[in-house]
Amino acid sequence: MSGSSLGKLFVVSGFGESHGPAIGGMVDGCPPGLALCAADLQRDLDRRKPGQSRHTTQRRESDTVEILSGVFEGRTTGAPIGLLIRNEDQRSKDYSEIATRYRPGHADYCYDQKYGHRDYRGGGRSSARETAVRVAAGAIAKKYLAEHAGVRIRGHLSQLGPIRPRDFDWAAVESNPFFWPCRESVPELEEFMDALRKSGDSIGAALTVVAEGMPSGLGEPIYDRLDADIAHAMMGINAVKGVEIGDGFACVEQRGSEHRDEMTPEGFLSNHAGGVLGGISSGQDLVVRIALKPTSSIRIPGRSIDRDGNPVEVVTKGRHDPCVGIRATPIAEAVLAIVLMDHLLRHRAQNAATQAPIPPIAARAPGA
Amino acid sequence: MSGSSLGKLFVVSGFGESHGPAIGGMVDGCPPGLALCAADLQRDLDRRKPGQSRHTTQRRESDTVEILSGVFEGRTTGAPIGLLIRNEDQRSKDYSEIATRYRPGHADYCYDQKYGHRDYRGGGRSSARETAVRVAAGAIAKKYLAEHAGVRIRGHLSQLGPIRPRDFDWAAVESNPFFWPCRESVPELEEFMDALRKSGDSIGAALTVVAEGMPSGLGEPIYDRLDADIAHAMMGINAVKGVEIGDGFACVEQRGSEHRDEMTPEGFLSNHAGGVLGGISSGQDLVVRIALKPTSSIRIPGRSIDRDGNPVEVVTKGRHDPCVGIRATPIAEAVLAIVLMDHLLRHRAQNAATQAPIPPIAARAPGA
Amino acid sequence: MSGSSLGKLFVVSGFGESHGPAIGGMVDGCPPGLALCAADLQRDLDRRKPGQSRHTTQRRESDTVEILSGVFEGRTTGAPIGLLIRNEDQRSKDYSEIATRYRPGHADYCYDQKYGHRDYRGGGRSSARETAVRVAAGAIAKKYLAEHAGVRIRGHLSQLGPIRPRDFDWAAVESNPFFWPCRESVPELEEFMDALRKSGDSIGAALTVVAEGMPSGLGEPIYDRLDADIAHAMMGINAVKGVEIGDGFACVEQRGSEHRDEMTPEGFLSNHAGGVLGGISSGQDLVVRIALKPTSSIRIPGRSIDRDGNPVEVVTKGRHDPCVGIRATPIAEAVLAIVLMDHLLRHRAQNAATQAPIPPIAARAPGA
Amino acid sequence: MSGSSLGKLFVVSGFGESHGPAIGGMVDGCPPGLALCAADLQRDLDRRKPGQSRHTTQRRESDTVEILSGVFEGRTTGAPIGLLIRNEDQRSKDYSEIATRYRPGHADYCYDQKYGHRDYRGGGRSSARETAVRVAAGAIAKKYLAEHAGVRIRGHLSQLGPIRPRDFDWAAVESNPFFWPCRESVPELEEFMDALRKSGDSIGAALTVVAEGMPSGLGEPIYDRLDADIAHAMMGINAVKGVEIGDGFACVEQRGSEHRDEMTPEGFLSNHAGGVLGGISSGQDLVVRIALKPTSSIRIPGRSIDRDGNPVEVVTKGRHDPCVGIRATPIAEAVLAIVLMDHLLRHRAQNAATQAPIPPIAARAPGA
């Protein structure tokens, strides 16, 4: 069935399988006048692409994106922006095993249950390869948000298996292959990943994405709340099993007097809410955290069944990410950008004529 | 802007403010032929309604629902089902303070930023009162799922502040005002809540909702994944700050060999995934957990600003739930039912003619 | 299935059956700050309501609308506006005949084919009674368009059976029960309708609706063109079988040199296009014409079948409009207002930040 | 803004400009299991493509379509089907005139009003070239409808300027470049078109599209009626200014006793309704007629303005269709197929579990 789109006014649609001829899609609803070229998209695609360190899959894809429409003389026209990324490294191999046996913990079985027929090459549609389309589309949203709304989106890995950063520095994030905000503990990560790779196993991770410079007033209560749409988009990223806004599950043990973010004329005094109250942005930084499960494509044998229901033992060979969380930072950034862009346009639709007369306060009080 | 609907084929739309004349809405897309009367909806409305114990708000609402259309001779016709619940206990009081001052941690400020004009009586549109519409609509979905798809949905409080159940018994859940699955620790909850109420503060909570008897194959990868739509709907419930499917954030520290649910011809051997793989239901029980923040409407003074940006001290008087999680179980059940119903219809749309030929295995292997 | 809504950003949803307890619905997406009260809606409801002359059905409905939400202190808040109209004159009668026999030309048969179960009282959901909801919602759109966008929408009957106006005067339209723009030929209409009523037959009609003061730039090429959405909304009015924009079917015999509307710095020299080019409004008057079929509810016996497939003769008794076109003018106006309102908001979403720098020309050149 | 999609469950999205690198799109929601290859789409693309006779534009495009995803081992998988058609004959020419002057009757002016920036090469997004995407997508729908629902869709030109067919023969339609159902009058058409081409002018046309073998019960009253969605999709085809279902505007002068289609146990006795009653298909043939205006791209000088508002004279040079109606038959067929496919899936969503128990009668009584 349909359902391959994200957003309502800024609509990202994607198609493509891991080992088909290409992946691609379109961005419908980008305002006209945005300066845009393929290189603007390529930067984030390069951050996501595989094979950049020994800690990710060794599949080699240049992930070169082509803009097929919607841009003229270097600026968007308002028409849909067609995107195309050819698959290059579809290594020919024998898929007979994967075609008839279900990897435990993988979507194989569910696809067969749903469709009765699936493209099993490299995971087909269920492969995380598809996220490249969201990254390309998200780069358009990020550019618009930065240039026309003053919003900056960035993310970092916040936990990998048992390892947490020991300190925090945005500047560190892009200086290591893990998007890790703590230079000091990078060697620890490398060691952990090397051992993991040798063991043939995989590991989970957590990511944090932040939007700074947020306008207040984005989000449509009650159903299409900003946080609800963020949760939807984040949970739609492969392997994500949990989403938190602000303090998230830590709220459970908090008291109201502790959780509420007090306000002064100079700004908010804290940000437990993560930038959203009642489904509407408050102008504080938007803070989102997601949990990614360990991938099921591992070399350690597991019990499963085949298409005929017989018991089999499954070992996944081939090139796989031992921690899908590592490459997920640009994906989560992209997805957040798409949702914010959509809500920015939705907000404008309603309020152009009836601007809120109440001046907003600062995202943060001086010293808070 | 628009955005007051949930679902694509089974569409629930709601309107209404806390202290307006009525709340209501419509369910569009319920299949014809379902036996239905107002009493079917009233049961869950009664579970949610305030004033049933000293631990929830003392507002008195009968929450009597009227079915205005879409049902004829005791069965749904396929036409939209109009729902109406009159507000009864809109206590007349002086709202001048709440109208001009922003409660810290509350949506007041965001509404004013967004709309420049809000119905401040009792929280207006941002009040959790609106959830009654979702509960009524969800009761229709629950009934259809139970009678026509064999799916049973139920939930329970799984944590209240620092307190966790010491054992687990579904039978206990409806026997106490907390939807608490452990009879033994109910007095502990009561004591905690009594002290909290006296202190004028509020507390967070966590809920778990489970769907048993799930068909496999529900969910539309990649964007409209079943888990993504669940996350959206759950995060759309007032006060929710986090959503987990299956093991959720616990995945972060898990290895693939530990997390993956092995399969045998007799069924799955575990359920870390919480019933969804690749965005599609596996037939295992669907397990969702949500975090609800402590409400910001508390009697303890807090720093804030007024509409003119001046510093003020805010104390929230009136009738409020000290733990909004307590009444949220029927809401979370309803919301899950709505999403599942929507995806059941979406699944049928595509697959009526091309049924999956692969017989599903059991949700759980014997002894697993 | 779902499908009881109109619009994407200004979303009108409706429920209700002819002889159920009430009809109603909601308007989701009305911008905040619009001055609004029930009387604003009542005016158009009164123009549409039955029993105002001997030429329409004698059913007596006050069509009193209640606004249940979304308006506070006399202004819209941005929250959904709930609408309720109680049915009053559900005359108790024996429906056994209509329940089991299909009126030829009526939707009875199709409803039973689709749903297998229908509310047959007074046509149930297929009754034109439901259009009252669209009229109420459209009145909100008309008011916003008039006050915040300078757009005026009005319509008139342009043909009734074989009778066409002999001259044209907007001022005449509201002075007779037919919305007829030619005072001189009103007696001719009355005579025709009196004879028709006696014969027990019904007659078709054509309507014209015009929007003046149109902004240019509304409409989303290629699929959600302004004219496409108008065609959808108009064809959704009961009994409509044809829709034309501008010259409509007369274009078939026109040459390009004749059809194209030439432009001068002072304005357009003609309006064959009816205000839309390439799916986008040009700023010229929007001109829409629709054909309404003669109702099938007539007293003249016709051949048909019953639910069991047996041949029967059907005679429709009861209170029916001999020309449904007569009361359709306010409906068509409302529907056009809803579509324009939706596209106005859609336009704002995209273009708030990138306003077109090209000044528009006048809708009409002086003397054109 | 967004709006480049058609359908709700069978969703066709398109991108691309006339002289950009490519046009393309995706079909989201095609059921799995349909046998499909590029050749299935190419047949209709070839029927639509330009340069097949002297009566259409001489632009040379092979319109070779590539299927990029969603098909595996010759069958659809249920995943979105990516489509790509490279533009080949983007003749390099001087566009400076068209870039700054508005062709009267063309969308140029409206695009500039809306976007402030447009791709003017060959009409850009407003070019009918984009319809190739709908034709490719529609071919998928046609194939599914034919093979899985027994529905056959075909169309023909029914009027060209003043010329109407003198008799009717489906067999003639594909034997001439006009899709004309009357062999005898083809020379008359050729003569008319030759003279027209010499004159530099253009002409309007009317088309008829028919769906045979219709299931009853398709369409969602009240708003998403089958006929409403058809009207939307047809009016979305470039140059269409009017849409009729069944008798269309002829209804205006009909009486109810004449218009209603009587029924017998053997079938319907007539088909004035064109296959839709109350927005739901009756099982009779679906009959749709559309009016296409004469294109504004003509060689005859016309008065207009430039971007700066100065008066100019415009003459459109280059390669253009003197009658856009000629190539529109495959487009209208495709568009009807897309709408029917969408409603077939929508119908299945609701009714899989509650099949209508009333056996349908024949589309036509023997001899009717």
- What's the 3-state SS for C208-263? EEEEECCCCCCCECCCECHHHHHHHHHHCCCCEEEEEECCHHHHHHCEHHHHCCCE
Residue D319 has pLDDT above 90, yes or no: no
Residue A108 has pLDDT above 60, yes or no: yes
What's the pLDDT tens digit per position in B36-69?
999 999 999 999 888 788 888 877 888 999 999 9
Mean pLDDT is lowest, of B183-187, C58-62, C99-103, for: C58-62
Residue B365 has pLDDT above 90, yes or no: no
One-letter amino acid of B203:
I
- The per-residue pLDDT for B357 is 58
- Asked if residue B169 is part of any domain, the answer here is yes
Residue D131 has pLDDT above 80, yes or no: yes
- Asked if residue C202 is part of any domain, the answer here is yes
Q: Kindly state the tokens that stand for C145.
A: 């368009």
Q: Kindly state the tokens that stand for D102.
A: 């508005």
Residue A94 has pLDDT above 70, yes or no: no
Q: Is A310 annotated as a binding residue?
A: no
What's the pLDDT tens digit per position in A26-81?
999 999 999 999 999 999 999 988 878 888 887 788 899 999 999 999 999 999 99
Residue A318 has pLDDT above 80, yes or no: no
Length of chain A: 368
Say how many C-beta atoms besides its own lie within 10 A of residue A74's C-beta: 9
- The per-residue pLDDT for C171 is 96
Check A354 against C31: CB less than 8 A apart: yes
Residue C316 has pLDDT above 80, yes or no: yes
Residue D201 has pLDDT above 80, yes or no: yes
- The per-residue pLDDT for A195 is 96
D367 class by beta-carbon count within 10 Å (0-12 exposed, 13-18 middle, 19+ buried): exposed
- The per-residue pLDDT for C122 is 84
Q: Is B48 annotated as a binding residue?
A: yes
Across the beta sheet with A11-16, the strand order is A5-6, A11-16, A22-28, A81-86, A65-67
Check B255 against A294: CB less than 8 A apart: yes
Contact A172, A183 (CB under 8 A): yes
What is the span of the domain harbouring residue D309? Answer: 5-351
D165 vs B368, residue with greater confidence: D165
- Sole residue written with tokens 């009875």: C108
CB burial readout D64-73, b (16+ within 10 A) else e:
ebbbbbbbbe
Query: Smallest CA–CA separation between C115 and chain D, in Å?
Result: 6
- Sole residue written with tokens 């959790």: B128
* Best residue in D125, D266, D293 for a mutation probing chain C (most C CBs within 10 Å): D293
- The per-residue pLDDT for B54 is 87
The dihedral built from the CA positions of residue B167, B172, B177 and B179, taken in this order, carries a sign that is: positive
- The per-residue pLDDT for B351 is 67
Strand residue runs (E) in chain B = 5-6, 11-16, 22-28, 65-67, 71-72, 75-76, 81-86, 152-160, 205-212, 240-245, 263-264, 267-268, 276-277, 280-281, 286-292, 302-305, 311-314
Helix, strand, or coil here: B154? strand
Q: Is A238 annotated as a binding residue?
A: yes
How much is the average pLDDT of B140-167? 97
Say how many C-beta atoms besides its own lie within 10 A of residue A368's C-beta: 15
Distance of CA D103 to the CA centre of its chain: 24
- The per-residue pLDDT for D364 is 87
Check D15 against A125: CB less than 8 A apart: no
Kindly report the CATH number assigned to the domain that includes residue D265: 3.60.150.10
* Best residue in C69, C351, C355, C358 for a mutation probing chain A (most A CBs within 10 Å): C351
* Best residue in B15, B81, B87 for a mutation probing chain C (most C CBs within 10 Å): B15
Residue whose C-alpha is closest to residue D177's, from D42, D47, D62, D60 = D47
Helix, strand, or coil here: A256? helix
What's the pLDDT tens digit per position in D55-90?
888 778 889 999 999 999 999 999 999 999 999 877
- Asked if residue B97 is part of any domain, the answer here is yes
How much is the average pLDDT of C195-219? 96
B121 vs A158, residue with greater confidence: A158
- Sole residue written with tokens 């437990």: A272
Check A68 against D22: CB less than 8 A apart: yes
Residue A89 has pLDDT above 90, yes or no: no
Check B235 against A245: CB less than 8 A apart: yes
Measured in degrees and rounded to the nearest 5, phi and psi for residue C56 equal -120, 175
- Asked if residue D362 is part of any domain, the answer here is no
Name every chain C residue with its beta carbon within 8 A of the beta carbon of D216.
Answer: 109-110, 113-114
How much is the average pLDDT of D315-319? 80
- The per-residue pLDDT for A46 is 93
- Asked if residue A300 is part of any domain, the answer here is yes
- The per-residue pLDDT for A2 is 83
Domain count, chain D: 1
Strand residue runs (E) in chain D = 5-6, 11-16, 22-28, 65-67, 71-72, 75-76, 81-86, 152-160, 205-212, 240-245, 263-264, 267-268, 276-277, 280-281, 286-292, 302-305, 311-314
- Asked if residue D364 is part of any domain, the answer here is no
- The per-residue pLDDT for A1 is 57
Q: What gap in Å lies between CA A266 and CA A279, rounded to an integer?
A: 23
Q: What angle, 0 to 180 degrees and rounded to 10, lies between the N-to-C axes of helices A38-48 and A329-351?
A: 140
Q: What angle, 0 to 180 degrees and rounded to 10, lies between the N-to-C axes of helices C226-235 and C329-351?
A: 150
In this prediction, residue C51 has a pLDDT band, given cuts at 50, 70 and 90, of confident
DSSP structure string for B39-72: HHHHHHHHHH-S-SSTTS--------EEE-SSEE
- Asked if residue B24 is part of any domain, the answer here is yes
How much is the average pLDDT of A97-117? 90
Average of per-residue pLDDT values in chain C:
93
Q: Kindly state the tokens that stand for A314.
A: 């499954």
SS (H, E, C) C84-128: EEECCCCCCCCCHHHHHECCCCCCHHHHHHHHCCCCCHHHHHHCH
Q: pTM, whole model, 2 decimals?
A: 0.97
**Residues linked to residue B155 through DSSP beta bridges, in sequence order:** B209
- The per-residue pLDDT for B234 is 98
In this prediction, residue C297 has a pLDDT band, given cuts at 50, 70 and 90, of confident
Q: What gap in Å lies between CA A138 and CA A123, rounded to an integer?
A: 23
- The per-residue pLDDT for B50 is 80
Residue B1 has pLDDT above 60, yes or no: no
C279 vs B317, residue with greater confidence: C279
Residue D135 has pLDDT above 70, yes or no: yes
Nearest to C256 among D126, D162, D296 (CB): D296
Q: What angle, 0 to 180 degrees and rounded to 10, lies between the N-to-C axes of helices B226-235 and B329-351?
A: 150
Q: Kindly state the tokens that stand for D90.
A: 């983007």
Residue whose C-alpha is closest to residue C17's, from C128, C135, C139 = C128
Average of per-residue pLDDT values in chain B:
93
Percent share of chain C, pLDDT over 90 = 79
Q: What gap in Å lies between CA A146 and CA A332, rounded to an integer?
A: 17
One-letter amino acid of A115:
Y
Q: What gap in Å lies between CA A331 and CA B91, rounded to an integer?
A: 49
Contact B244, A241 (CB under 8 A): yes
Average of per-residue pLDDT values in chain D:
93
Residue whose C-alpha is closest to residue A51's, from A296, A321, A324, A318 = A321
Query: Smallest CA–CA separation between B33 and chain A, in Å?
Result: 24
Contact A339, A288 (CB under 8 A): no
- The per-residue pLDDT for A34 is 95
Q: What gap in Å lies between CA C252 and CA D313, rounded to an integer?
A: 26
Helix, strand, or coil here: A336? helix
Nearest to A32 among C148, C221, C354 (CB): C354
Percent share of chain C, pLDDT over 70 = 97
Q: What gap in Å lies between CA D315 and CA D301, rounded to an integer?
A: 5
Say how many C-beta atoms besides its own lie within 10 A of residue D183's C-beta: 16
Name every chain B residue with its beta carbon within 8 A of the beta carbon of A297.
Answer: 256
Say how many C-beta atoms besides its own lie within 10 A of residue A306's C-beta: 15
| Residue in B with minimal Cα distance to A249 | B291
- Asked if residue C311 is part of any domain, the answer here is yes
Percent share of chain B, pLDDT over 70 = 97
Contact B239, B128 (CB under 8 A): yes
What's the pLDDT tens digit per position in B253-286?
999 999 999 999 999 999 999 999 999 999 999 9
| Residue in D with minimal Cα distance to B31 | D350
Measured in degrees and rounded to the nearest 5, phi and psi for residue C210 equal -130, 135
Residue B93 has pLDDT above 90, yes or no: no
In this prediction, residue C215 has a pLDDT band, given cuts at 50, 70 and 90, of very high
Contact C46, C64 (CB under 8 A): no
Distance of CA C106 to the CA centre of its chain: 19
B367 vs B196, residue with greater confidence: B196
| Residue in B with minimal Cα distance to A298 | B256
One-letter amino acid of A280:
I
